[in-house]
Structure 1
Amino acid sequence: MTSNGIQAVSSIVDAYPKRHAAVLPLELQEEIIDELSTDIKNLKKCSFVCKRWRSRTHFHAFSSIRLQHTSVETFSSFRDIPFSFFTIYPRARRICIVGSHQHHDVMSWNSSQVEALARALQGLRDVGNASVLVLENLNWDALAGSPIPSLMLSLDSVSSLELSCVTFPRHSQFAELVAGFTALRHVVFQDIEFGDPQPVLERLLADKIMMDDEKSALSLRGAGSFLRKSLHWACHSPKSGDALTATIGAHVSRYTDPSAILRSLGSSLNYLEIVSLADISSDTIISTVDLSSNTSLRRLSLSSPFRVLSLIPWLNHVLLRISSPCLRVLDIAFAASRQFHLDEPFLKYLDKVLSSPQFAELQLIQLIVVNGRLYPELRLGMDSCVRSAMPSWDRKGVLRVSFV
């Protein structure tokens, strides 16, 4: 566009009625931005004409806010600038507070950064639009004695809470935090640690049963002498956090017995994933998991990507402990093998195990071959071996062999 064109656009802007500014074609708005933004004198006109474009852009750009100790002071300063405050704060829906990756380092937040975080949370509370609160890589000691915990709980609009790699010196601090949210619909707990000895909550398991409208998914991943736990929980109707903590207690900690959280989730557990990686020291723990309470399990994923199928020591134990009569999907992932025919006896045994009544509702049995970069004829041979060893499931059309 020539200089005459710029002047023409500028005159159009001056004459354009305010009530029509929102219906300018987006392509024209973008072109006006390109032409007028080169001169600071045109900034006001550019901003006015492109109000719709700006509003849409800011809605997406600021819907998720990530507050780290390196950026929180800058974000907090926006609260004192009217244009920035009303542009950014009301649009924030997901608030993520992130500590150091070395989350055991209590000094990752200094006093001025904690103060800035408090100011930012106050601004977000005043607006009242945040629906998701995420805490990552945090040591609760870094926030102890500050107004941060109470400000978090003052976010009344929060319905989703996610805690990942968070260390609490005492379990009671975790319980108080979660219990402070009274309208939760979705929760994620992953790699939670407690500094004090775990309270005994077994007595709660006998009489505390999750409501029918609650659904949960649990991932147990081998990590040496313990299993890392990742819990996803959802509820159709809002629920107070204290009821949830009373149910699962301290069992979300990586160091607790995995069977305890399985029993506490009970019939609310719909999806379970168990993963054993190269370190075999977690095999013994996996072999002891108790699934007798999980009567509504619909999908089960079992993975040991570094071992061939017949050499996964805990696989048979887990399958024999299934008590859910409504299991629909079974995934089993294992390492590729050029001598897969040696696993045929185990496949025939697996076919026999899956003939039990608790597997009668299976709609998909998926055997996933990991690192299966094999020649086409080897893949075809593995597929043929599986189908010949499990003919009844093959005839039902629910058997699938995948290579990843």
Structure 2
Amino acid sequence: MSERRYDVEKVILVGVETQENFKTFDESMTELGNLAETAQGEVIGELIQKRQVIDRRTILGKGKLQELASLIQSKEADTVIFNHELTARQARLIEEEVQVKVIDRVQLILDIFAMRAKSKEGQLQVELAQLNYLLPRLVGQGTALSRLGGGIGTRGPGETKLETDRRHIRHKVTIIKRELKETSEHRERSRQKRKDSSVFQIGLIGYTNAGKSTILNLLTNTKTYAEDQLFATLDPLTKKWQLPDGLETTLTDTVGFIQDLPTQLIEAFQSTLEESRSVDLLLHVVDVTSENRNQQEKTVLELLDTLEMNHIPVLTVYNKADQLLDTSQFVPTIYPNCLISAFEDSGKNILTEAILKRLKEIFVPFEIHLEANEAYLLNQMPKEVLIESYEYLEEENSYQVKGYCQKHSKWLQRAID
């Protein structure tokens, strides 16, 4: 399905650096520019103000707001995007001053999600997030709602003008939640099936554009959509992957994380995030070329805490090694880890070896004996466990098998019995 094209809007970015955000401000503004371009906007200007705290009425001070109005006029801009979440009143006051469409970072991210969502569930989740964002902003918006007619910050599954009636929106939210609950229950049944079949589940997580989809393609030889852009993957995708020794696993690709991920999105995407919450191992993919690598790592780890996923074992995969001038100079910050390029043949071998090593740390060692008439089980076992060695004991007329397996494995239970 090809992505729809929209008219390019001329965009001006606005940010206020304060005592609270100065450490991450530059990266956040760079990210805002990337987000605007992902939403098919053309960034033609940027206005930054340093203040102790943001102005409660209009984010910017009065003089800076007038400067913004002049910049818009001289550049003939269509849209202003603030790197702060705006209340309905703030957005209205700023719009009255600058006379063009004003949106915030949250609306921008929601807009990109609306563009990216391909599955019915993904579209419902985005619409739910958009409605939850809009609902508290209805009071006092007045004619500003007319700007929901088109362009960046206004796209959605149906691209229809949203009703101003609160009751209508609440009713719509209820219907969407009911549909998502049904989808979530179906997803839960699928997850339970995989659990019951003892298939080891691996989830890919990481900052947006770190290369998760490319790694999924590398390991499973599939052709998932993988582009150098923010939020290239929105709908979760699970693929089967068999390790060289025979162990059968599933790999799940998920939406990328980002600084200040809107709470509306976290809430709306709970059913999708459940897919990652139930995995046995997380591959935390990190872009080694990012100038803000440490901050991105921190963002992902903090979100894992928020999503109550910090108990899941992690292997950090430092990706894009082909873009480093000297890999010997690379210093990792999270352990255990491996350094790869998902575009090089060696990447698959390095990553596979690192995963096998991590599995042996997660699994428990076992040793069992199979009677001679159970030899056929030697073909079945490698799909469910990691076999280190097996030998035929002539005196006992049995096979001795040593290896590693999951704690709830039937093979471990048999070894104990």
Q: TM-score, with normalisation over the residues of structure 1?
A: 0.27
Q: TM-score, with normalisation over the residues of structure 2?
A: 0.26
- Structure whose CA Rg is larger: 1
